[in-house]
A and B are shown apart, each in its own frame.
Chain A
Amino acid sequence: MTLLLVALALIAASAIIPPLLPRAPAQRTAYLALLIGGCGLTAVAAIDALAAGTVVQRAWTSFVPGGDWVIGIDPLSAIFLIVIAVLGATNGVYGDADMRNDAHARRTTESNAFYAVLVASLVLVVAARNIVLFLAAWEVMAISSFLLVMTYHERAEVRRAGWIYAVATHTATLILMVMFALWSGAARDWSFTSLAAAAGAHAVSVGLLLLLALTGFGLKAGYVPLHFWLPPAHAASPSHVSALMSGIVIEMGIYGLLRVLTLLGAPPAWWAWLVFALGAASALLGVLWALAQRDIKRLLAYSSVEHIGIIVLAIGLGALGQAYHHPALAVLGYAAAVLHTVNHALFKSLLFMTAGTVYARTHTRNIEELGGLARRMPWTFLLFAIGAVAVIGVPPLNGFVSEWLVFLGLFDGARAMSDVRLVIFAAPVLALAGGLALACFANVTGIVFLGSPRSERTGRATEVGSSSLVPQAALALCCAAIGVAPALVAGVIAHAGAFLAGDPRWASASAAAPIGTLRGLTVFSIGLIAAVAVLAVARFALGRRHALRRGPTWACGYDAPTPRMQYTSSSFAAPLVTVFGALSGVRTHRGATVFHSEPRDIVLDDVLTRVWGRIQAAALRLRPIQQGRLHVYLVYVAAALLSGLTYFIIAR
């Protein structure tokens, strides 16, 4: 616990000390050393707590109202702390290099300071064990990430994205305050321990608290239909901020939901089914919307909506296991949710960083203007391809492992437990989402990196330096390790799953048996890699040397193809987008001589903006009563007094 406090102090120092130093190189060294040191210590503290297998907690008497300040580490927060540490360090190094290439020194210093504050607040959110500290850390997280989204505030679209994010995140905080206020009414004090003790005994129904948690934390996590702030905010932010936001900040919503579940105990069945259905809908719609995007960062943001959906679906599965008293399903569902959270953090951060390097070198986020980057940026291509294979969820990388666990839960629930057998209908939905994810990421990988450059600037792109590549390579290695040898993490996630399911002893009992089958998957993954290696050796080393000639791509006899004739990203996505019709959000404009299509966000552009427009129009109609002249207001005051007096007289 002391270690975690030292780590927090180091991360906080990396926000405060560098701006005080006189010269840029010293600033940079101090910032990176303090940030990496802090993140390293955070990871050590978390691993220490995981290895000890105990729940540690410490309280301080506070000088502000609201009771003692309590922080603690348990299996749930330990896993999140490790993710925060890994992403905080890698994105920090990457972001510093990226900002220095691109921006003024002052902006780099500011953005680094906000970044360190954000990382510190993330650590504090998962360590906090009382309401005031949790909400305070939550709010610091919201504000520092808002400031980071607003880094390039001179652009109008960045300001719009920033304000939408601010509204969404503060609505979330407000809902959480209401939830904690209702909840703490029956509690002895404002620590989480007392909240847990009061869970069964207070006047407000557990269902209401769970619904508030689902909305409040959902606005942060960003599942459908609460995802609307996510795509604009991710597109507007600097790349390392998008990477951290998508990797871990939105997953704080998942953390919050899981934390509330550990405090409230087994949820009612209707809530579990609701969460399950929300997750399935989000998984399918998220990837469908991703498919139609042309802005590579918006595409990745929608893909996050998909993966948050998969995590929420797994949480629903765990909650169903709790509600219907199936420990095996509860452990499996929660373990899958935790592992997918970790995996999504790793591969989505990696993808945002590689997308960031592409943007840094080509100055465009529009997929249709890119192409042929694999030859010009081979390392970036390799890293993006690793991220793409992981995000699609095909073997042998980590995305597959956790999706496989979710499928295992769905099949297991359907065959063994008759009261939850309907979960099987999510399996084909998830499989369809997997197919769409393959289409989506085959599209973006193929159009951006393969073929020929579609614009002149793309043709001149060059590879980035090692300070950008090394942090990405670190994340890619994590993806590969979990993917190739999932048995390595089986123990940790079984532990976390059992903790969330309500009884840590289940980690070693038969309830965790399905997670043990990760050994079979390890054999499969290694077998797959071995098969590729053996075939490659047989084909290229042992096979005959074949005559090899180079020539142009076969274009069915046409001999002057240009890069513009290549298939475009929107054409690639068109058949699937057409099948889903209006649900896909793509709007097309047809005229005699023009054809134009654009992806829109159904919730933000078609619902929220319109509703807000109506409210504004109604407010405008009230405008005539504000005349700005003193005597008019005097009339109002007199009228108000008179009607008040009349009311009192009549009421008598």
Chain B
Amino acid sequence: MTGPGSALAGLVVLAIVAPAVLGVAGRTKAFLTRRRGAPVLQLYIDLAKAMRRGIVLSNTTTLVFRAAPIVVLAALLMAATVVPLDGRSALIGFPGDVVAFAYALGLGRLLLVLAALDTGSSFEGMGASREVTVAAFVELGLFLAFGTLAVLTKQLSLSGMLGAPLAASWRAASPAIVMTAVSLFALMLAECARAPVDDPATHLELTMIHEVMVLDHSGPDLALMHYASALELSLVGALIVDLIVPRAHVPLGGSLAILAAGLVAVGIAVGAVEASVARMRMPKIPLYLAGASSLGLFSLVLVLWSGA
């Protein structure tokens, strides 16, 4: 089965699995540091609880603050519609949809940052400032990765770059693909506010990036923000799964199972990184991102001069 139905099934799997991936990451970290940790499904319970709670709004906030959770989630869902989550084709793939993917995430980020500035809190302003700094360099790395894939597969849409044409070029260009995947993983840790760039477990507002920006959100708004954050990690994780396990010819059920298993593996990897390294000092973060991007640059150079 291919077509919209199959792509929609992939989207549903992603939407359902996303909170569990964060749970897996937390559990892995706890296991590696010899602690018990929260249940894998804890985030579902937290989200359900927050959905039932009331809302406290700051006196300084405007409609921007209320709109932000909705736009952030909508932008992520639209970005998900151009990713071939079933390993074949996306819900609405078109040439150049890679750019739409990255810039839809940009729209979500803009609203997140504006909502933070809407509160007038200096802590949230600080978080917003860090968020845009990290994101600017993540964009750079992301487009190096996309450039590599475009040159390698001769395709302009994510459905092509991560679908059947990718499987065909795995044999010839596996080093470039693996480097791209590693680069994407490092960028994902930064984009989705995980260690070593951000520490989701910290309790000190001064050291936070993502968490501090949602300090003033409460009730259902907070639930949407947390869910969007989980979804973003799984969405970028799905890109990596597609990259490493091309599965255009696997039956739909198997393909979706591989997606879910792959996302769990991403969660384990995130947890393992979190257990083994501490959060970096803020001035070091651009260096980390430059490192991640240089991997992408190497793979781009590799495919540019080996293909032609």
- Measured CB to CB, the residues of A under 8 A from B are 371-372, 374-375, 381, 389, 392-396, 400, 403-404, 407-408, 411-412, 414-416, 418, 421-422, 424-425, 427-432, 434-436, 438-439, 442-443, 445-447, 450-452, 514, 517, 519-521, 523-524, 527-528, 531-532, 534-536, 539, 543-544, 546-556, 561, 563, 565-567, 571-576, 578-579
Residues of B within 8 A of A438 (CB): 106, 109-110, 113, 132, 135-136
Residues of B within 8 A of A432 (CB): 136-137, 139-140
Interface residue total, chain B, C-beta cutoff 8 A? 88
CB contact between A450 and one of B53, B62, B144, B156 (< 8 Å): that residue: B62
Nearest neighbor of A372 in chain B, beta-carbon distance = B60
CB contact between B55 and one of A435, A524, A546 (< 8 Å): that residue: A546
Summarize B's interface: helix, strand, loop or mixed. Answer: helix
CB contact between B92 and one of A446, A514, A523 (< 8 Å): that residue: A523
Interface presence of B89 (CB below 8 A):
no
Interface presence of B82 (CB below 8 A):
yes
CB contact between A553 and one of B107, B120, B126, B155 (< 8 Å): that residue: B120
Nearest neighbor of A416 in chain B, beta-carbon distance = B154
Interface presence of B71 (CB below 8 A):
yes
**Cα–Cα distance between A172 and B213 once the two chains are bound (Å):** 48
Would you give 19 A-B contacts (Cβ < 8 Å), ordered by A? A403-B99, A414-B151, A424-B300, A425-B147, A434-B139, A435-B132, A446-B128, A520-B93, A520-B94, A536-B70, A539-B69, A548-B54, A549-B54, A553-B119, A554-B58, A554-B121, A571-B129, A575-B130, A579-B133
Interface presence of B13 (CB below 8 A):
no
Query: Please, what's the 1-or-0 string for B92-136, where 1 marks a CB less than 8 Å from any CB in chain A?
Result: 111111111011101101100110111111111110111011011
Supplied contacts A421-B151, A523-B94, 6 more A-B pairs, CB within 8 Å: A411-B96, A435-B132, A442-B128, A536-B70, A551-B59, A571-B125
Query: Given A428-B147, A551-B56, A574-B129: A524 and B70 within 8 A (CB)?
Result: no
A451 touches B119 (CB 8 A): yes
Nearest neighbor of A520 in chain B, beta-carbon distance = B94
Nearest neighbor of A371 in chain B, beta-carbon distance = B120
**Cα–Cα distance between A82 and B286 once the two chains are bound (Å):** 44
CB proximity of B170 to chain A, nearest CB, Å: 17
B53 touches A546 (CB 8 A): yes
**Cα–Cα distance between A101 and B54 once the two chains are bound (Å):** 46
Interface presence of B216 (CB below 8 A):
yes
Interface presence of B185 (CB below 8 A):
no
Residues of A within 8 A of B219 (CB): 546
Chain B positions 278-302 with a Cβ under 8 Å from a chain A Cβ: 282-283, 286, 293, 300
**Cα–Cα distance between A329 and B92 once the two chains are bound (Å):** 25
CB proximity of B286 to chain A, nearest CB, Å: 5
How many A-B residue pairs lie within 8 Å, measured between CB atoms? 274
Report, nearest first, the 5 A-B pairs whose CB atoms are least far apart: A520-B94, A567-B125, A446-B117, A435-B136, A547-B54
CB contact between B136 and one of A436, A514, A539, A553 (< 8 Å): that residue: A436
A408 touches B77 (CB 8 A): no
Query: Given A374-B62, A439-B136, A539-B70: A408 and B95 within 8 A (CB)?
Result: yes
A439 touches B132 (CB 8 A): yes
Residues of A within 8 A of B97 (CB): 520, 524
B59 touches A552 (CB 8 A): yes
Residues of A within 8 A of B69 (CB): 539
Interface presence of B138 (CB below 8 A):
yes
**Cα–Cα distance between A415 and B148 once the two chains are bound (Å):** 9
Residues of B within 8 A of A400 (CB): 103
A521 touches B304 (CB 8 A): no
Residues of B within 8 A of A445 (CB): 114, 117
**Cα–Cα distance between A98 and B133 once the two chains are bound (Å):** 37
Residues of A within 8 A of B116 (CB): 446
Interface centre among B59, B114, B135 (most CB of A within 10 A): B114
B59 touches A411 (CB 8 A): no
A424 touches B104 (CB 8 A): no
A428 touches B128 (CB 8 A): no
Nearest neighbor of A524 in chain B, beta-carbon distance = B100
Interface presence of B252 (CB below 8 A):
no
Interface presence of B24 (CB below 8 A):
no
CB proximity of A145 to chain B, nearest CB, Å: 33
Chain B positions 72-86 with a Cβ under 8 Å from a chain A Cβ: 73-75, 77-78, 81-82
**Cα–Cα distance between A408 and B98 once the two chains are bound (Å):** 9
CB contact between A543 and one of B61, B156, B220, B286 (< 8 Å): that residue: B220
**Cα–Cα distance between A418 and B306 once the two chains are bound (Å):** 11
Query: Given A549-B55, A571-B125, A579-B133: A451 and B118 within 8 A (CB)?
Result: yes
CB contact between B282 and one of A418, A520, A575 (< 8 Å): that residue: A575
Interface presence of B32 (CB below 8 A):
no
Interface presence of B17 (CB below 8 A):
no
CB contact between A408 and one of B59, B96, B136 (< 8 Å): that residue: B96
Residues of A within 8 A of B71 (CB): 532
B129 touches A563 (CB 8 A): no
A389 touches B205 (CB 8 A): no
Residues of A within 8 A of B304 (CB): 414, 421-422, 424
**Cα–Cα distance between A424 and B297 once the two chains are bound (Å):** 11
Interface presence of B308 (CB below 8 A):
yes
Query: Given A415-B156, A450-B64, A527-B92: A427 and B147 within 8 A (CB)?
Result: yes
Chain B positions 138-181 with a Cβ under 8 Å from a chain A Cβ: 138-144, 146-147, 150-151, 153-156
Interface presence of B215 (CB below 8 A):
yes
Residues of B within 8 A of A434 (CB): 103, 106, 139
B144 touches A428 (CB 8 A): yes
Residues of B within 8 A of A552 (CB): 58-59
Interface centre among B60, B95, B136, B140 (most CB of A within 10 A): B136
B55 touches A553 (CB 8 A): no
Residues of A within 8 A of B94 (CB): 517, 519-521, 523-524
CB proximity of B48 to chain A, nearest CB, Å: 13
